[in-house]
Amino acid sequence: MGALQLPPLSLYVHLPWCERKCPYCDFNSHETRTLPEAEYISSLLADLEADLPFVQGRVVQTLFIGGGTPSLFSAAGIQRLMRGIADRVALADDLEATLEANPGSAEAAKFAGFRAAGINRLSLGIQSFQDAQLAALGRVHDSDQAHAAVAAARDAGFSRINLDLMHGLPGQSTAAAMADLDVASAYRTGHLSWYQLTIEQNTVFYKQPPVLPVEDVLADIQDAGEHRLQAAGLHPYEVSAWAATGEQCRHNLNYWEFGDYLGIGAGAHGKVSFPDGRILRYAKRRQPDAYLAAAGDWRVQPQWLGDEEKPGEFMLNALRLNAGFALADYTARTGLPLSTLQPALDTLLARGLLVQEGNRLRASALGRRFLDSVVTEFLC
């Protein structure tokens, strides 16, 4: 095990509740009519304090509040959370602070309060601008609320906004998918997450599958969408992330570049590196009730990555980026020499699935199509 350079540090905060569980969702989210906001925020801050010995003296560069539906929390609650975090850990002067929000009118009314609390980037779960598609997805908002949410975010002072859109929806045609992209790109928010609906286990859609577009239509949607987005000035920098120049999500980039992150909240995950080459992964208790009752015992499943696991862990993340990674970053982030990527690296280069350009390595267009298989070559 060799020494490594400490990468940037991020903080992820999980707020697990939502108004209604979507039939396609396999995230750690839970329907509720009563939100234990004050109690949960107290647990989050105590949870953060318990993790601080891992990162003494380090500065948090990005913060992401995800869910669930974080915008169900009150603006005052988010302000208390943000102040509590700032009291406990050093935050960068140029901190990127993202909060996920649904487009419902009740949430949109809080946007100005979220901005005043220190949130400077909003991620809106639009999914579609068409009422029929929203109904098929079981969403609780309609197209009018989707449009109103973007306007409310701008009125609240957010200059950095991500729109989440899905494609390959039940019965969706290529024309309908392009109509969603045209509406989204016309808003010029600078960032778009555009990903295909997949049927996951432990979801309503898995038990009662909807009729999805056939493979040829899915391929047409993907090809047409890529041309449409690039014509709108958005460029793909990750498997499903598109951004204008300089608008990439720094928090997600830190994940993909094998950076460090603390994770607080029910089901949150963390990864922390140490100068001596050790890397720790951990999770927090998944069920909200168990998390709230943990009282100092939030962390579960701690795992020290062995040297044999680090190549696969690094490549699983880094190869998601269209630009790939600098070869020197592999050693800096894992403490291992480049030779530990052999012979898988030679095999994949010879097959045209990876491309080396100077000091950078990335997946080829073919490699991106079969990325899971490419990454498997590096897993122990």
Q: Residue 374's pLDDT is what?
A: 96
What confidence category does residue 53 fall into, taking pLDDT thresholds of 50, 70 and 90?
very high
DSSP string, 126-171: EE-S-HHHHHHTT-S--HHHHHHHHHHHHHTT-S-EEEEEEES-TT
Mean pLDDT within 50-56: 95
DSSP string, 346-370: HHHHHTTSEEEETTEEEE-HHHHHT
Q: Residue 31's pLDDT is what?
A: 83
Q: What percent of the chain has pLDDT over 90?
A: 84
Is the link from the previous residue into 138 a cis peptide, with omega within 30 of 0?
A: no
Instruction: State the Cα–Cα distance between residues 52 and 261, nearest whole angstrom.
Output: 12
Instruction: State the Cα–Cα distance between residues 256 and 317, nearest whole angstrom.
Output: 4
Show the domains of the chain with their CATH numbers: 9-254 (3.20.20.70), 311-380 (1.10.10)
Neighbours of 328 (CB within 10 A): 12
Instruction: State the Cα–Cα distance between residues 271 and 300, nearest whole angstrom.
Output: 13
Q: What is the pLDDT of residues 284-331, one digit of tens each?
A: 999 999 999 998 899 998 999 999 999 999 999 999 999 999 999 999
Q: Residue 242's pLDDT is what?
A: 97
Q: Residue 339's pLDDT is what?
A: 94
Q: Residue 23's pLDDT is what?
A: 82
Q: What is the 3-state secondary structure (H, E, C) of 167-179?
A: ECCCCCCHHHHHH
Q: What is the pLDDT of residues 115-171, one digit of tens each?
A: 999 999 999 999 999 999 999 988 889 999 999 999 999 999 999 999 999 999 999
Q: Residue 1's pLDDT is what?
A: 57
23/144: higher pLDDT? 144
Instruction: State the Cα–Cα distance between residues 328 and 360, nearest whole angstrom.
Output: 9
Q: Residue 104's pLDDT is what?
A: 83
User: pTM of the entire structure?
Assistant: 0.95
**φ, ψ of residue 203 in degrees (nearest 5):** -125, 160
Nearest to 137 by CA among 194, 203, 202, 183: 203
What confidence category does residue 22 fall into, taking pLDDT thresholds of 50, 70 and 90?
confident
Q: How far is CA 85 from CA 12, 48, 221, in A?
A: 11, 8, 42
How much is the mean pLDDT over the chain? 94
Q: What is the pLDDT of residues 166-216, one digit of tens each?
A: 999 999 999 999 999 999 999 999 999 999 999 888 888 888 889 899 999
Indicate whether 262 pLDDT > 90.
yes
Q: What is the pLDDT of residues 215-255, one digit of tens each?
A: 999 999 999 999 999 999 999 999 899 999 999 999 999 99
Is the link from the previous residue into 343 a cis peptide, with omega within 30 of 0?
A: yes
Q: Residue 2's pLDDT is what?
A: 63
